[in-house]
A and B are shown apart, each in its own frame.
Chain A
Amino acid sequence: AQKVTQAQTEISVVEKEDVTLDCVYETRDTTYYLFWYKQPPSGELVFLIRRNSFDEQNEISGRYSWNFQKSTSSFNFTITASQVVDSAVYFCALKHPGNTPLVFGKGTRLSVIA
């Protein structure tokens, strides 16, 4: 069975603070892919990152970084020096190879206050 858990329903931080969004996944397969999507107030789903199960290297993209740890089945997302524009709902998702659907977590609503 596949499952993605985002235990934090809502997080509120003050601008310029760092914030980490947690994601824990469950799968029996050894090959899988992990994703993060951002859903700003306008409603669209914006792809942020994809990671495959064989690549545990952490990734940094500007103020965003991702920590993938297979030992704890986690794929956490950190925003450094948060900004008001980062306010959104963030979804973590899991996928198996091929034309298979994304399985989403429930999302974490991040509010960055000026």
Chain B
Amino acid sequence: DARVTQTPRDKVTEMGQEVTMRCQPILGHNTVFWYRQTMMQGLELLAYFRNRAPLDDSGMPKDRFSAEMPDATLATLKIQPSEPRDSAVYFCASGLGPPGGGYGYTFGSGTRLTVV
């Protein structure tokens, strides 16, 4: 089965450090999403890309978060500097379809980030 691969699976870091999370979407998928899951807020959309171009990153704190797709096989989410409130599980999801499609997305296993 094709799957979305996220690395690392778990990350513990000290406040102020830079954190980079990586996502390998399913080959051929043209849309990539980053979601954050916390107990308080549930699943929140941070950013998403179509054909590697950012479509919406309004859910992301701009001062410390950045999301990129250097190529079609890699999406990155970077936090610099990290803060304890960034502790969460970060999910990447990818999908493919025509503009009128209502297809769902495949999620990766997530990166559990703990900032101490």
- B residues near A (Cβ < 8 Å) are 30-31, 33, 42-43, 45, 48, 50, 55-56, 89, 91, 93, 95, 97, 99-110, 112
Q: Which residues of A contact B48 (CB under 8 A)?
A: 99, 101
**Across the A-B interface, how many residue pairs have beta carbons closer than 8 Å?**
59
Closest A-chain residue to B46, C-beta based?
A101
A107 CB contact (under 8 Å) in B42, B50, B102? B42
Chain A residues with CB under 8 A of B99? 97-99
Instruction: Name the residue on A nearest B49 (C-beta).
Output: A99
> Is A44 a contact partner of B42 (Cβ separation < 8 A)?
no
Pairs A–B under 8 Å by Cβ, sample size 28: A31-B102, A33-B104, A35-B104, A37-B107, A43-B89, A43-B110, A43-B112, A44-B109, A44-B110, A45-B93, A45-B107, A47-B104, A47-B107, A50-B102, A91-B42, A91-B43, A95-B102, A98-B100, A99-B95, A101-B33, A101-B45, A102-B33, A102-B45, A102-B105, A103-B45, A104-B43, A105-B42, A106-B42
* Contact between chains at B102 and A99 (CB < 8 Å): no
Segment 80-114 of A: residues with Cβ below 8 Å from B: 91, 95, 97-99, 101-107
> What does DSSP make chain B's interface, helix, strand, loop or mixed?
strand
With A99-B55, A99-B99, A102-B105 given, is the CB distance from A45 to B91 under 8 Å?
Answer: yes
The answer to the question of A52 belonging to the interface, with a C-beta cut-off of 8 Å to chain B, is yes
Classify chain A: how many residues form its interface, as a range. 20 to 34
With A and B bound together, what is the CA distance between A11 and B101 in angstroms? Answer: 34
- Please indicate the chain A residues that have their CB under 8 angstroms from the CB of B102 in the complex: 31-33, 50, 52, 95, 97
- Alpha-carbon separation in the docked complex, A105 to B31 (Å): 21
With the chains together, A60 CA to B50 CA distance in Å? 33
Residues from chain A with a CB closer than 8 A to the CB of B95 are 99
Complex CA–CA separation, A103 to B45 (angstroms): 8
For A104, the chain B residues whose CB sits under 8 A away are 42-43
